[in-house]
């Protein structure tokens, strides 16, 4: 606040906050609006210097990254590169990140990518979900899927960097992804959406009857695939219960079709339920086949008549599947049907014992509106479902929907709120945990159209913040975002305490520490000098604002050069960089951390390298030379 605004209790932001106020200014002038403007402070206002109440983790969609937002301000705080190549941090270029990206690729992928730059540099992140302990977020990891290249990655929440990335065998893409909620994560479940032959080696091509889909369970601690279950149809979204017994996925292609007409031909598709104990017993009993990657694949298709799966008919092409925080109900969103189906988890044991029919697990099917895609929850038994076609959020009461289904004359629908425009996912604060708190709802809208000044044919998406703390939903903010946050989660800031320094005990630097020892240095932070090892040259330096420990170093044209930079500054927020001009190299070096990069010195001459992170008044002077002698 300026001195003047402090006196009047008025800030520019609160005046600009609402169109009603803005209209008022036009009539009365700013001066007469001051007292009202001060009173009109919105619940989502976070003043400069104030901190947000919640962390938001947003998928970056086609950008391949994950973003951290502050809620309720909707300020973007950080981007975590995951499946993308990051020009700022060197993710995808540093030796440390390349190792993480490549070490768990499948043999066939390694072969395919070997002559193309080693790995895909794009990704399509849909679903960021945190690890759970006892039904609620535990702050350890965020897991995300890459639909484009069939991968799952894990972000360490203490340093907000990816530490593991794996490719899923026997699959063609990964869409739905959810961690086990109870007793802990535990499993991370991943859905394959597009059916392909198994193995997909060209021996089967245009014979869709021989295509398959698999449901994958990953061990969230080791990031190893532990088992897969082959299913009929395809697998769209997935979720798990609060008892640790079941997982379940939607299927929009029960027809096993390969074109739109085929995929949408039948009225009912289904949700498939997986019995985790039965599957574990099946693995133990050896009831599986191995196809690719040493992973047991169990047969959960209908004709196998196994105890691993049950198929529950759901109208029509269901999409989102969301467990309510009460641990009793699962909402299955109809997409092409205007309904959401409410499945009662307590009926699943009888379903698996064949004591009841699949549809007997459905205890309500309220008509919500057109295009229900995803459902979020508060702590009062209410559900919030996105209606893609109606471009609305429908707030409804689960118990009332059940009563109505049982024949009572009640209306479960509480309110419909227009959103701008066409929502996909929505999410409430802590809404996918047992600690849902009913404070904020985000509507992730696919189109912004006229909501912002025009930026050309490609427009931002519009993530809208909705206050759900009262009886009525209230839209309070538009948040433009680059394509395309499919999904997000939000949790109180007290649940996370990220580090200011990664620390040299981070396993990320284990290889570098070992190499520095071998090269005769006492420790990585103390390493400074040039090691010549045949055609290989290792250049160690440390950085402390505003200098690198080496003023220059010399290599020969054609040398394979590895640069290892360690930032020994122990001041919070003092990141250095290393940019080698005209070599296409740039990387981030965190305080009390290292980074390394390897390249061929095939460009003779004088090459300055400089620090690209503003670190000091003499930051521009933080530069040294690499001298490359011609061969």
Please say which residue, 473 or 615, places its beta carbon nearer to ligand CUA: 615
Residue 545 contacts which entry, ligand CUA, ligand RUQ, none (Cβ below 5-8 A, type-dependent): ligand CUA
| Chain residues that interact with ligand CUA, rule: CB under 6 A | 545-546, 576, 611, 613-615, 619, 622
Of 185, 271, 188, nearest to 227 by C-alpha is 188
b (16+ CB within 10 A) / e for 310-321: bbbbbbbbbbbb
Question: CB of residue 236 vs ligand RUQ: minimum separation in angstroms?
Answer: 7
Please say which residue, 508 or 589, places its beta carbon nearer to ligand CUA: 589
Q: Is the dihedral of CA 63, 69, 71, 74 positive or negative?
A: negative
In whole angstroms, what is the distance from residue 114 CA to residue 66 CA?
26
Question: CB of residue 579 vs ligand CUA: minimum separation in angstroms?
Answer: 10
Chain centroid to CA 330: 22
Q: Is 445 helix (H, G, I), strand (E, B) or coil?
A: strand
Please say which residue, 427 or 576, places its beta carbon nearer to ligand CUA: 576
Angle at 293 between CA 289 and CA 299, to 5 degrees: 25
**HEC assignment per residue over 362-380:** EEECCECCCCEEEEEECCC
| Chain residues that interact with ligand RUQ, rule: CB under 6 A | 126-127, 175, 237, 319-320, 373-374, 424-425, 486-487
Residue 441 contacts which entry, ligand CUA, ligand RUQ, none (Cβ below 5-8 A, type-dependent): none
CB 167 within 8 A of CB 224: no
Q: What is the widest separation between alpha-carbon atoms in the chain?
A: 88
Cis peptide before 55 (omega within 30 of 0): no
Question: CB of residue 190 vs ligand RUQ: minimum separation in angstroms?
Answer: 13
Residue 351 contacts which entry, ligand CUA, ligand RUQ, none (Cβ below 5-8 A, type-dependent): none
Question: CB of residue 586 vs ligand CUA: minimum separation in angstroms?
Answer: 12
Please say which residue, 71 or 622, places its beta carbon nearer to ligand CUA: 622
Question: CB of residue 589 vs ligand CUA: minimum separation in angstroms?
Answer: 8
Please say which residue, 343 or 563, places its beta carbon nearer to ligand CUA: 563
Question: CB of residue 576 vs ligand CUA: minimum separation in angstroms?
Answer: 4
Please say which residue, 142 or 589, places its beta carbon nearer to ligand CUA: 589
Of 535, 525, 523, nearest to 560 by C-alpha is 535
Helix (H) or strand (E) holding 490: strand 488-492
Please say which residue, 137 or 613, places its beta carbon nearer to ligand CUA: 613
Residue 437 contacts which entry, ligand CUA, ligand RUQ, none (Cβ below 5-8 A, type-dependent): none
Q: What φ, ψ does residue 397 adopt, rounded to 5°?
A: -105, 125
Residue reference for tokens 């104990």: 277
Residue 487 contacts which entry, ligand CUA, ligand RUQ, none (Cβ below 5-8 A, type-dependent): ligand RUQ
In whole angstroms, what is the distance from residue 622 CA to residue 625 CA?
11
Question: CB of residue 158 vs ligand CUA: minimum separation in angstroms?
Answer: 24
Residue 425 contacts which entry, ligand CUA, ligand RUQ, none (Cβ below 5-8 A, type-dependent): ligand RUQ
Question: CB of residue 608 vs ligand CUA: minimum separation in angstroms?
Answer: 13
Residue nearest to ligand RUQ (CB): 126
């Amino acid at each position: 606040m300026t001195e003047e605004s402090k006196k009047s209790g008025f800030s520019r932001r609160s005046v600009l906050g609402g169109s009603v106020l803005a209209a008022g200014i036009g009539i009365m002038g700013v001066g007469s609006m001051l007292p009202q403007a001060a009173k009109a402070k919105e619940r989502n206002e976070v003043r400069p210097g104030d901190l947000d109440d919640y962390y938001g983790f947003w998928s970056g969609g086609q950008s391949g990254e994950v973003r951290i937002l502050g809620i309720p301000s909707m300020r973007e705080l950080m981007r975590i590169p995951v499946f993308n190549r990051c020009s700022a941090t060197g993710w995808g270029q540093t030796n440390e990140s390349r190792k993480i990206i490549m070490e768990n690729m499948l043999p066939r992928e390694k072969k395919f990518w070997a002559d193309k730059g080693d790995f895909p540099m794009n990704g399509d992140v849909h679903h960021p979900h945190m690890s759970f302990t006892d039904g609620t977020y535990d702050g350890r990891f965020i897991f995300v899927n890459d639909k484009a290249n069939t991968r799952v990655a894990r972000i360490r929440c203490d340093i907000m960097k990816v530490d593991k990335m794996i490719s899923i065998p026997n699959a063609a893409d990964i869409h739905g992804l959810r961690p086990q909620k109870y007793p802990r994560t535990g499993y991370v479940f991943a859905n394959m959406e597009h059916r392909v032959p198994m193995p997909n080696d060209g021996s089967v091509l245009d014979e869709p009857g021989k295509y398959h889909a698999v449901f994958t369970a990953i061990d969230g601690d080791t990031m190893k695939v532990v088992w897969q279950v082959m299913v009929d149809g395809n697998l769209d979204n997935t979720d798990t219960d609060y008892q640790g017994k079941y997982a379940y996925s939607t299927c929009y292609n029960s027809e096993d079709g390969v074109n739109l007409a085929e995929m949408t031909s039948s009225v009912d598709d289904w949700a498939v339920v997986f019995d985790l104990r039965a599957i574990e017993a099946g693995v133990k009993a050896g009831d599986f086949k191995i196809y690719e990657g040493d992973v047991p694949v169990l047969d959960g298709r209908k004709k196998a008549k196994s105890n691993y799966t049950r198929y529950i008919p759901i109208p029509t092409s269901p999409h989102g599947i969301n467990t309510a925080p009460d641990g009793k109900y699962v909402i299955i969103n109809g997409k092409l049907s205007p309904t959401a189906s409410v499945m009662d988890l307590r009926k699943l044991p009888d379903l698996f014992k064949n004591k009841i029919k699949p549809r007997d697990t459905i205890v309500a099917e309220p008509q919500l509106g057109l295009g229900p895609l995803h459902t979020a929850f508060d702590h009062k038994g209410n559900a919030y479902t996105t209606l893609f076609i109606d471009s609305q959020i429908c707030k409804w009461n689960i118990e009332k929907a059940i009563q109505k289904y049982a024949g009572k004359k009640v209306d479960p629908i509480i309110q419909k709120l227009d959103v701008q425009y066409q929502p996909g996912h929505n999410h409430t604060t802590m809404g996918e945990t047992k600690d849902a708190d009913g404070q904020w709802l985000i509507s992730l809208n696919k189109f912004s159209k006229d909501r912002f000044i025009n930026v050309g044919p490609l427009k931002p998406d519009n993530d809208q913040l909705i206050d759900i703390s009262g009886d009525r939903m209230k839209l309070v903010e538009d948040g433009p975002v680059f394509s395309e946050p499919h999904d997000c989660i939000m949790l109180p800031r007290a649940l996370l305490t990220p580090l200011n320094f990664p620390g040299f005990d981070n396993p990320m630097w284990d290889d570098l520490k070992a190499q520095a020892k071998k090269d005769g240095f006492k420790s990585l932070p103390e390493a400074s000098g040039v090691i010549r090892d045949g055609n290989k040259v290792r250049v160690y330096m440390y950085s402390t604002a505003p200098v690198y420990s080496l003023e220059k170093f010399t290599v020969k044209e054609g040398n394979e050069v590895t640069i290892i930079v360690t930032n020994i500054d122990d001041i919070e927020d003092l990141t250095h960089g290393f940019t080698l001009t005209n070599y296409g190299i740039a990387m981030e070096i965190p305080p009390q951390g290292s980074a390394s990069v390897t390249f061929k010195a095939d460009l003779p001459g004088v090459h300055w390298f400089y620090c690209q992170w503003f670190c000091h008044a003499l930051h521009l002077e933080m530069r040294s030379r690499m001298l490359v002698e011609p061969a």
